[in-house]
Structures are given as structure tokens and as C-alpha cells.
Amino acid sequence: MNNIPAFETLLVERAGRRLTITMNRPEVLNAFGGPMHREIVEALAFARDDIGSDVVVITGAGRAFSAGGDIEGMQRVIDAPETFDKEVEEAKALIYTLLDIEKPVIARINGPAIGLGATIALFCDVTFASERAKIGDPHVSIGLVAGDGGAIIWPALVGLHRAKEYLFTGEILTATKAAEVGLVNHVCTDDELDGAVCDFSDRLLAGATEAIRGTKIVMNMELKRLAHAMMDPGLALEAQTVRSDDHRARVEAFLARSKKA
């Protein structure tokens, strides 16, 4: 049972029959730059196939769950847009692999979950958020289509009209607001978060494993259908905006503000 893979940007640990995947770039709020985009897919595939676990927890190291896309990485894609093709394939693999995990997947949202970070958290089955967490998908704020899964999962959780409002504006919600609209299941203080996740994990581990997995399989069927129908066109539209003048200008303005700060 010690066959846990090692990663550069992730920690994967097993405690009993609970497997925890921790995004581990705390110095950049666990943003998806460098190899993490690829490694998260590999870690999820391991979690899907791991015979030593029955519950999976996804979280972030430090004070964030994940800040989403790396802005400097976006500049590199702007300069060489053909490199986005690889990110497209990884983005699809990420969502499809996450949905293929038959075990319950719990999001421990210990801080901001933004963009792709929010998408990963919200595609989990049950979500526990720190009261200081913030959740949002601001793709449009940097001139991009929310094509990497946000346009699928937000409407599924909060309804079409609310999802359009949040995704059209890129609004960042507090954890309390996210719980009020049904985006997350539970909001806890920092001191309560670990205990709440552990208690719920233990409750599932004490349950009927086969029945829980079968119930998840049935409930995820429609979500899988939506994902397989929407990911390709969503990412194609996002790829168009990657090459847009608006996206270039917004990224350049963000980087300029960062340098001044």
C-alpha cells in the first residue's frame, strides 16, 4: 500500500483509507503554473485507481486552495498561443478524470479558490470551506471565456441565471455567500475545518462503500454528459480569446500593476 507517487507540485498522502491530494505551491497561492496542470491529472488518475482508499480529499497548502491560472504563464501563452493546445488536452483530462473517480471526493477549501481552483473544488462531491475562503471564476475579467469547466458546474449548482450573473461579471463570492446560494455545502471556522472534513470522511468510510459509489455513479451521469458535450466547444472558444487583443491588454495591465505594487 506504499505505492503513492511523488510529485513536484503536489503532496499525495494516505491516512487509513482516506487519500489526500494537496496542491503544494503555497508561495504562489497554489496557482497552476509549470507542471501542476499536468501533475493534478496524474494524481487524480492515481486516486481513481487506488485500491488503498475509499475517500479522496482535495485541498491546498498554505493560505489558499488555488488562485487558478498563473498570470505570467498566461503571458507566455499569449506569446506562443500554440502552447495552449496542450493545456486544452490537460483541462479536458482533468475534468473527465475527476468525474471518473467513483469514490466520494471532498473539497477542503482552506482559502481562495479562484478560476480553475474554483472549478476543481466545485466538481468535488461535497465541499467544506473556511469562513475566510473566497470563490469565483474571473475568466472574463482577463478577457477569457470560462471554458475549462466553470460554465458547466456553476449552473449545475446554483442555476442558470445566477451562474450567468457570476460568470459574466467574474464576481468573487465570500464563503458565506457561496453557501447561501448553494455553491458549497458547509462553511467552518479555520479551527473547525479539519475536524469537519475528518468527521465527514469517517462517516463515509463507515458507510456502505459499494452503495455510496453506485449512488455517485448514477448522480454523475448527467454531469458527465454535460462535460463531454461542453468541454470541447468551451475550450475552443477560450482558445479564441487567448489570441484576442482584449486578453493581451488585460494581462499586460495586470502585470504592470503587479510590478508597481
More confident residue, 164 or 69: 164
Q: What is the mean pLDDT of residues 164-176?
A: 98
Question: Which CA distances in Å does 84 have to 29, 77, 99, 111, 146?
Answer: 22, 6, 23, 28, 14
Q: Name the pTM for this structure.
A: 0.95
Q: In this predicted model, what pLDDT tens digit does every residue of 49-75 receive, in sequence order?
A: 999 999 999 999 999 999 998 777 777
Q: In this predicted model, what pLDDT tens digit does every residue of 213-258 receive, in sequence order?
A: 999 999 999 999 999 999 999 999 999 998 888 988 888 887 777 6
pLDDT the model gives residue 47: 98
Q: Is pLDDT of 82 > 90?
A: no
Mean pLDDT, the chain, integer: 94
Q: In this predicted model, what pLDDT tens digit does every residue of 88-101 receive, in sequence order?
A: 899 999 999 999 99
194 C-beta neighbours (distance < 10 Å), count: 14
What pLDDT band is residue 128 in, cutting at 50, 70 and 90? Answer: very high
Q: Cα–Cα distance between 134 and 110 in angstroms, integer?
A: 9
29-38, 129-138, 174-183: which has the minimum mean pLDDT?
Answer: 29-38
More confident residue, 170 or 70: 170
What pLDDT band is residue 261 in, cutting at 50, 70 and 90? Answer: low
Domains of the chain listed by start with CATH number: 10-260 (3.90.226.10)
Q: In this predicted model, what pLDDT tens digit does every residue of 132-144 receive, in sequence order?
A: 999 999 999 999 9
More confident residue, 191 or 249: 191
Q: Is pLDDT of 1 > 70?
A: no
pLDDT the model gives residue 83: 72
pLDDT the model gives residue 206: 98
Q: Cα–Cα distance between 124 and 103 in angstroms, integer?
A: 10
Q: What is the DSSP string of 226-238?
A: HHHHHHHHHHHHH
β-pair partners for 13: 20
